[in-house]
Amino acid sequence: MVPIMALRKRLWALPLVPAAGALSLLAACGPAPVPEPNCPKAESIAGRVVCPPGTEMDGEKCIQTDVRIVVQCPEGSHFEDDACRAEIDTSCPGGMTFEPGVGCKPIIVQIDPAPSAPVGLTPAGGKSKCPAGMAFVAGGSFKLGGYHASAGSTVSVKDFCLDLTEVTVGAYKVCSTKGTCPTASLKCNPDSSSWTAGDDKLPLNCIDYIDSAKYCSSVGKRLATEDEWEWAARGGSLARKYPWGPNEDWDKVCASTPNKRKLPCQAGSFHSGDTPLGIHDMAGSLWEWTTTTRAGDNSQPTDMAIRGGGWDIIVGFPSFASGSRVGYEPTYRSKAVGFRCAKGV
What's residue 114's pLDDT? 43
What's residue 221's pLDDT? 97
Name the nearest CA neighbour of 194 among 286, 307, 271, 268: 286
What's residue 101's pLDDT? 73
What's residue 26's pLDDT? 34
The burial of 327, by beta-carbon neighbours within 10 Å (0-12 exposed, 13-18 middle, 19 or more buried), is given as: buried
Domain borders along the chain are 26-82, 165-340
What's residue 113's pLDDT? 44
CB 64 within 8 A of CB 11: yes
pTM: 0.65
Q: Domain 165-340 belongs to what topology? A: paralog of FGE (formylglycine-generating enzyme) (3.90.1580)
For 25, 48, 204, 265, 336, the CA distances from 195, given in Å and listed in that order, are 98, 122, 6, 13, 13
List the chain residues with pLDDT less than 70.
Answer: 1-49, 66-69, 94-95, 107-128
What's residue 111's pLDDT? 43
